[in-house]
Amino acid sequence: MTHSARPSGSTHLSGPTRLDHATGIDRSRHISFSVDGQQHTGFAGDTIASALIASGRIDCGASTYLGRSRGILSAGIEESNALVRVKGRIPGDVSESMLPATRVPITEGLEADYLSGLGILDPGQDELVYEHKHIHVDVLIVGAGPAGLAAAREAGKSGARTLLLDDRSAPGGSLLSSPGRSVEGALDESIDEVPAPEWIEATVNGFAEAEEITYRPNTTVFGSYDSNFFVALEDRTRELVETEGTGSGASAGSADSDRDDTASRAGTRQRVWHIRAKQVVLATGAHERPIVFADNDRPGIMLASAVRTYLNRFGVAAGQRIAIAATNDSAYELLADLHAAGIDVPAIIDSRATASAMAERVVDTTGTRLILGSTVTGTAGEGPAGRISRVTVAALDEDAVAAGHGEDIDVDLLAVAGGFSPVIHLHGQRRGPIVWRADIAAFVPKTPVRDQFTVGAINGDYSLEAALKDGAEAGNAAANRSGFAAALTVPKAAAMTFAPARPLWLVTSAEDDHTALTTHFIDFQRDQSVADVQRAMNAGMRSVEHIKRYTSISTGGDQGKTSAVNAIGAITSILGETDLGSVGHTTFRAPFAPVPFAALAGRRKGELFDPARITAIHPWHVAHGAEFEDVGGWKRPWYYPRPGEDMEAAVLREGKAVRESVGFQDASTLGKIEIRGTDAGEFLGQIYTNGFKKLGVGKGRYGLMCTPDGMIFDDGVTLRVAEDRYLMTTTTGGAATVLEWLEEWHQTEWPHLDVVFTSVTEQWSTVAVAGPRSRDVIAKIAPNLDVSNENFEFMGFRETTLAGGIPARICRISFSGELAFEVNVENYYGLAVWEAVAEAGAEFDITPYGTEVMHVLRAEKGFIIVGQDTDGTVTPQDAGMEWIVSKFKDFIGKRSYSRIDTAREDRKHLVGVLPVDGTTRLAEGAQLITSGTPVTPEAGPVPMIGHVTSSYMSPSLDRPIGLAFVENGRNRTGEIIQSPVAGSLVDVEITSPVFYDPEGNRRDG
């Protein structure tokens, strides 16, 4: 089929057309799409870029900062000019920006717009499915070029679980740019005596039959981490759009030949792979670089390898009169192919002074004019977007400085072959060592990272023969190292040798004034030129890392793919040096290519973003309008506003209910750890500042635990359930940390103690019932229990059976200072018991209360909350809790209380702080200062004497109260100090931290 089959009238009629020969398009399938509102048609297999070039459009969005016309530069992931925004194509899809047109396959009806280097975020809701996959493999191979394919074949046939990932849509790597047929004068690219495409097809078909080989195209490995952990992005957008978009009714996965997980992939747009590999083969290839001359950014200046890709893979001649600027032998492959396709090549301009063997052969065969020892020094343009129309060629002297004004040559495309930069990013992300090789002008891995191999072009080995041999051997060795042996078969290809390159870092005849080189572009996406590099160096920078950040070169989507080595070359030239290795490379970091946040999030969005822990009673809280607070991953009722109530009103009401009648709270989230063993009491005595060994069965005790430096770490009540069994409660947020703490001390210091720990937080539901009428409520729900003060003492607990037949453990514990009980039942009964309490308490107007009023009521009593009032620098003595610190036994932290700093009398002490005006509520976290301290810029720093840790409106005192830590505070009771509130200083009186019922009379009801 020829280009005459193309529908006419819907595309640009001028410009290049399809050639007879193309390896990567299906001419039987026409696909219509639009760019910038202009309709185009391409073929299945086309990218936006290839189809546009076929339609005659090579220019793309103007540059980001300078607004310069730009054109398609590459044919792959290294594209830094041709970035598009693609509109949502299927229901639930949103527009996506910053996609390289060189990577987006066209689909029917696709609408795209070129961007000027900056994306536009679609505010719509992305409803498509993104997911993560975790996989362990024996051998991971990155890159499905000849080296990667050979490696995969050898690794896979051993039975090793082999994963081959490639960012392109088809296997073959650099061979995808080849003509796939014999071309006069060109390199022989047959493998095992068949044309390369046949070998690739046979090899990949072999993968389908092998049980343990998985090959994924369109999958970009973007991160390499310790212990061979890799992350990759698989893009299935085209498959998804073509399935969903046709409306054929077929299930999304039905056409999927994938055998391992067809169902789960259906409908997935993108997937992030998390891969652990025993062995890794990096066959990531190389990217070509532009050449840095004046106006090197004009539309119609394209990487030579890309010109070749469009020509051979897509059947598109990017120009009709193409000059080639060469610095190495690779350009001659393009020349041979252009000649075979009948494209006019007015000249090939080679920086090298003498013709290499390959140059001579191809130039002889094609009859092309060869200009040696010269290069392009500038360009001129005309027509749409100033597409290139002429190149100026000048001879180079020994120092690669252009000598005088040379010759002008008319062209419509310039192919630049500035040399290849091996894709060493994944190697570099692991801090793999790299070395500069002057003969090929490239940074290559010095030695692979442990348990990795590097093969093919990443090593600067550009011959097919070497790629196949190294790839096969690495695949075989990688499998062998992971325990799978097989006989090695090396695919054969013709030997190739390439002559040394002559790189050009800075094409200029005015090397002493680099600041004038404002159109010698290095980073196209960032619009940064040699002049910008010179400016950074004029500012005193020499390190490539500093210059990168000063100029922003190699940041953005490019991440150094086309720009890094040219920047280093420019720096080296400006320094008057020749060895790029002495300047060095910037640090490689993930991601290798941009990754959508949607893919990174995967399914962890909405309620799965941060899954909440909820108690058995949660539905009741929701039904009763609770506002929730997040604590330790739990949703805890914060307060229960009634209609028309704000938070303060609700909290005051709930607080009054507890003080005057009765309230109940869901306390199920408190951490609960069962501690068993004959030495459990001994162990707890070491952990807590107070003793637990002599605690009687059926009794509970409040305990405080400290770190070895003597600072408060956690607190809670621990019950002695049996001789060898305790039930410890911890703070809601500290449960996991405390469990780990217990394990640490037991396992690492006292393994001889017979004690084990089990988290039972989620096994128990706890209903706290507090207030003067709580005894009446408990009596109703637990008819078998003697709840009298005489027979059910404070800090005691009882096992009983509730009215409904539910076994329960009821404790007399109070965090509010009121008479209070805690009813503990199996989690299964939690909601039922909560409702039973609500029903029993109805006659007393029992009120549900949340964490806020719990905090307020305990603050009225001067009880600390670990983590709110303490911050890891507070000792029990600081908090006024000497009463709980045993003088008789040792425990973790005790030794520290005699250290000079902790023994000081004037440390910050826990005190009460009362705003003198009786109405102003202090800010939690606010600083406290001595009255009269000048607070002005002139007076300089203001000495701080403490800070507010808790501050509330007190329902019992009907005024604001606060807790604070103040230097020497306990000895300053009655002193008036100051704290800033809303921009002015308010007077605050230092008081005892116990504001309510200091005698403790209310505890027993």
Comparison of 624 and 899: residue with beta carbon closer to other proteins? 899
Match 């027993």 to its residue by tokens.
1004
Question: Is 493 buried (19+), middle (13-18) or exposed (0-12) by CB count in 10 A?
Answer: buried
Closer residue to other proteins, CB minimum distance, 450 or 589: 450
477 or 684, CB closer to other proteins?
477
In sequence order, the 6+-apart residues with CB closer than 8 A to the CB of 845 are 657, 661, 662
Cα(669)–Cα(732) distance, integer angstroms? 6
Shortest separation between residue 958's beta carbon and other proteins, angstroms: 46
Cβ of residue 227: shortest distance to other proteins, in angstroms? Answer: 4
Q: Is the peptide bond prior to 591 cis by the omega test (within 30 degrees of 0)? A: yes
Q: By the 8 A CB rule, do 42 and 106 touch? A: yes
Residue placing its CB nearer to other proteins in the complex, 454 or 949: 454
Q: At its nearest, how many Å lie between other proteins and the CB of residue 452?
A: 8
Please report how close the Cβ of residue 354 comes to other proteins at its closest, in angstroms.
33
The Cα–Cα gap between 236 and 161 comes to 23
CB of residue 54 vs other proteins: minimum separation in angstroms?
A: 42
| Least distance from other proteins to the Cβ atom of residue 360, Å | 34
Helices (H), 661-786: 680-687, 735-748, 774-781
Which of 232, 739 has the CB closer to other proteins? 739
The answer to whether the beta carbons of residues 847 and 654 sit under 8 Å apart is yes
Smallest separation, CB 596 to other proteins (Å): 21
If the CB atoms of residues 767 and 892 are measured against other proteins, the closer one turns out to be: 892
Q: Are 412 and 328 in contact (CB under 8 A)?
A: no
Q: How many CB atoms lie within 10 A of CB 500?
A: 13
Q: What's the CA gap between 612 and 618, in Å, rounded?
A: 11
Q: What is the DSSP string of 526-565?
A: TTEEHHHHHHHHHTT--SHHHHHHHH-TT-GGGTTTTTHH
Task: Between 56 and 633, name the residue whose CB sits nearer to other proteins.
Answer: 633
- By beta-carbon proximity to other proteins, the closer residue of 587 and 919 is 587
For 399, phi and psi rounded to 5 degrees?
-90, 15
Residue placing its CB nearer to other proteins in the complex, 449 or 568: 449
The DSSP annotation for 233-251 comes to EEE-HHHHHHHHHHT----
- Give least dist CB 750 to other proteins, A: 9
CB of 743 to other proteins, least distance (A): 5
Q: Closest separation between CB of residue 274 and other proteins, Å?
A: 9
Rg of the chain taking only CA atoms, in angstroms: 38
β 756-759/764-770 pair status? unpaired
CB–CB of 216/145 below 8 Å? no
Residue 576: how many other CB atoms lie within 10 Å = 7
Q: Minimal distance in Å, beta carbon 739 to other proteins?
A: 8
CA distance linking residue 690 with residue 701, whole number of Å: 9
- Residue 207 tokens, joined: 């993968």
> Do 908 and 969 form a contact (C-beta atoms < 8 A)?
yes
Minimum CB distance to other proteins, residue 721 (Å) = 22
Burial class (CB in 10 A: 0-12, 13-18, 19+), 831: middle
Cβ contact 771:854 at 8 Å: no
Pull the structure tokens for residue 266: 């259906």
Q: Cβ of residue 451: shortest distance to other proteins, in angstroms? A: 8
Which residues have CB under 8 Å from 503's CB, separation 6+?
A: 327, 351, 418, 419, 441, 569
Coil/strand/helix, residue 638? strand
CB of 736 to other proteins, least distance (A): 8
Contact residues toward other proteins (CB under 8 A) are 225-229, 276, 445, 447-454, 474, 477, 481, 708-709, 736, 739-740, 743-744, 747-749, 751, 890, 894-896, 898-900
Residue 521 or 588 with smaller CB distance to other proteins: 588
Least spacing, CB of residue 898 vs other proteins, in Å = 8
Minimum Å distance from CB 752 to other proteins? 10
Nearer to other proteins, 605 or 895 (CB): 895
Nearer to other proteins, 226 or 646 (CB): 226
CA distance 602 to 128: 10
Contact indicator for 663, 681 with CB cutoff of 8 Å:
no
Query: What is the amino acid identity at position 548?
Result: K
Q: How many CB atoms lie within 10 A of CB 605?
A: 12
- Smallest gap from Cβ 748 to other proteins, in A, equals 5
Query: Most distant CA pair in the chain: distance in Å?
Result: 114
Closest to other proteins by CB, 542 or 904: 904
Q: Which is nearer to other proteins, 267 or 710 (CB)?
A: 710
Pick 231 or 385: Cβ nearer other proteins: 231
CB 346 within 8 A of CB 325: no
Token digits of residue 691:
């003793």
Nearer to other proteins, 135 or 341 (CB): 135
Output phi, psi for 47, to 5 deg.
-95, 170
Closer CB to other proteins, residue 747 or residue 784?
747
Work out how close the CB of 462 gets to other proteins at its nearest, in angstroms, rounded to a whole number: 17
Neighbour count for residue 320 (Cβ, 10 Å): 14
C-alpha 201/C-alpha 180 separation (Å) is 12
Decide whether 427 or 775 has the Cβ nearer to other proteins: 427
Name 150's bridge partners.
Answer: none
In sequence order, what are the beta bridge partners of 700? 719
Integer Cα distance of 90 and 96 in angstroms = 13
